[in-house]
């Protein structure tokens, strides 16, 4: 599991920006967990702390009982192999074929791609329904198809955690539904923990089991999706749900 304790992230400058303020949160192994908030809430900073693209200012993050905030060198590289990222902009290499993109993690880590690596990549493309697109280029695909390629690439290193940073916000509703269904299927089949960063309550409703709500860097609400949707307690949650006057 992931245990976040009293996490603080401050970006120092002429005027300090307090992106995260004393955030504490548990994410259970195998969950599909949503982190939601409006722009500037701190949700992307939080996910960047989870994979150590940003170092927290203070507090701790324990992953399966191991404190990760001070990892360096080989230990950091090994940890990042366990944590895959899926981005809003897909992050595909435009000059590489779809298959090349999927096995790129093998090339990046080992400097070569074995026949076994290629077979794994082909199997992953089949898993996301894109076997027929192996030799085409990303520009020839729809947005939803490109995100499927990004998911296949994320799975190449057999991660334990997948972090999705606004992974569906550039997609149309049909493609969004398809990607969320794919993530749910992968979670069910592999047990991988999926953390979805989003500004959309519809995404949380469709895919997540539990949710945390951030506002101006603070954790203002958390619980099961059913609980939070049925009985929101914070004004920002009600705003995200489109509830103007919440009275029973």
Residue 36 placed within a domain: yes
pLDDT at 248: 39
Low-confidence stretches of the chain (pLDDT < 50) are: 244-248
Q: Are residues 99 and 63 in the same domain?
A: no
What pLDDT score was predicted for residue 133?
Answer: 93
CB 141 within 8 A of CB 61: no
Residues 76 and 172 in one domain: yes
Q: Where does a domain end: 158, 176, 191?
A: 158
DSSP helix/strand/coil, 212: strand
| Radius of gyration of the chain measured on its C-alpha atoms | 19
- Residue 117 contacts residue 77 (beta carbons within 8 Å): no
CA distance 78 to 206: 32
Distance CA 203, CA 214 (A): 16
Mapped onto helix, strand or coil, the DSSP state of residue 62 is: strand
- Check which CATH number belongs to the domain holding 193 and give it: 3.40.50.300
Domain boundary among 135, 158, 181: 158
pLDDT tens digit sequence for 76-92: 988 988 999 888 777 88
In a domain, 87, yes or no: no
Same domain, 97 and 191: no
* Statement to judge: residues 38 and 133 lie in one domain: no
Same domain, 149 and 166: no
Tokens describing residue 154: 């994320």
In the prediction, which pLDDT does 243 show? 59
pTM reported for the whole predicted model: 0.89
What is the rounded CA–CA span in Å between residue 106 and residue 113? 6
| Residue 88 falls inside a structural domain | no
- Residue 206: inside a domain: yes
Asked whether residue 218 is domain-assigned, the answer is yes
Q: Are residues 62 and 169 in the same domain?
A: yes
Residue 118: give the domain boundaries.
93-158
What span, in angstroms and rounded, lies between the C-alpha atoms of 240 and 248? 18
Statement to judge: residues 60 and 178 lie in one domain: yes
The secondary structure of 84-105 as a DSSP string is EEEETT----TTS-HHHHHHHH
Q: pLDDT by residue (tens digit) across 32-63?
A: 999 999 888 999 899 999 999 999 999 999 99
26 in a structural domain: yes
Q: Is 70 in the same domain as 172?
A: yes
Judged by DSSP in three states, 25 sits in strand
Residue 65 lies in a domain: yes
115 shares a domain with 53: no
- pLDDT, position 241: 86
One domain, residues 128 and 164: no
Q: Say whether both 227 and 246 belong to one domain.
A: yes
Tokens of 165: 């940073």
DSSP 129: T
For residues 24 and 75, membership in a common domain is answered with: yes
Residues found in the chain: 248
pLDDT value for 59: 96
pLDDT of residue 186: 92
Please give the tally of structural domains in the chain. 2
């Amino acid at each position: 599991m992931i245990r976040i304790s009293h996490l603080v992230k401050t970006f120092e400058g002429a005027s300090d920006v307090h992106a995260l303020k004393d955030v504490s949160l548990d994410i259970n192994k195998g969950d599909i967990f949503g982190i939601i908030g409006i722009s500037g809430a701190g949700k992307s900073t939080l996910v960047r702390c989870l994979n150590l693209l940003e170092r927290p200012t203070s507090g701790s993050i324990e992953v399966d009982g191991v404190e990760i905030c001070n990892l360096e060198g080989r230990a950091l590289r090994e940890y990042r192999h366990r944590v895959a990222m899926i981005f809003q902009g897909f992050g595909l290499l435009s000059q590489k074929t779809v298959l090349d993109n999927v096995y790129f993690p093998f090339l990046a880590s080992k400097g070569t791609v074995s026949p076994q690596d290629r077979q794994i990549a082909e199997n992953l493309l089949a898993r996301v329904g894109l076997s027929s697109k192996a030799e085409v280029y990303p520009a020839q695909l729809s947005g939803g198809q490109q995100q499927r390629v990004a998911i296949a690439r994320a799975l190449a290193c057999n991660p334990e955690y997948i972090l999705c940073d606004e992974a569906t916000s550039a997609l149309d509703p049909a493609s969004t539904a398809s990607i969320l269904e794919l993530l749910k299927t992968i979670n069910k089949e592999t047990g991988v923990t999926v953390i979805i960063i989003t500004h959309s309550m519809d995404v949380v409703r469709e895919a997540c089991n539990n949710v945390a709500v951030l506002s101006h860097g603070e954790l203002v609400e958390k619980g099961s999706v059913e609980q939070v949707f049925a009985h929101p307690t914070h004004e920002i949650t009600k705003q995200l749900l489109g509830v103007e006057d919440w009275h029973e």
